[in-house]
Amino acid sequence: MKEMTAIDLFCGAGGLSEGFQQAGFTILAGNDFDEHAGATFRLAHDAAEFLPGPIEEIGASRFLKATGLKKRRTGLLNRWAALSGIQRL
């Protein structure tokens, strides 16, 4: 069976990544602007790369380099950011 891989954008502490990992995915990388959440992500997913900072400042090439993936070879690109609007209230 082909390996299922995932990159998690707006990953926070990595809860959704944990669910994907339990479902059989290999988490390759995560991104969030919150360094504190990133520290937790790193602990929970120590084999994954954490790319800190605003997503608009991180290009696709940086994700490819961090994960060793080639263009158009990502299994899953998760972008869960449901709380971003609520945080501004």
pLDDT tens for the chain, 89 residues long, are: 678 888 899 999 999 999 999 999 999 999 999 999 999 999 999 999 999 999 889 988 898 899 888 776 666 666 665 555 544 44
- Per the CB < 8 A criterion, the answer to whether 13 and 37 are in contact is yes
CATH 3.20.20.70 fits 5-80, yes or no: no
- Which residue carries 């926070």 as its tokens? 12
Compute the residue count for the chain.
Answer: 89
CA-atom Rg of the chain in angstroms: 13
| Contact yes or no for 78/85 (Cβ under 8 A) | no
CB contact at 8 A, 6 and 77: yes
State the pTM of this model.
Answer: 0.80
H/E segment holding residue 80 = none
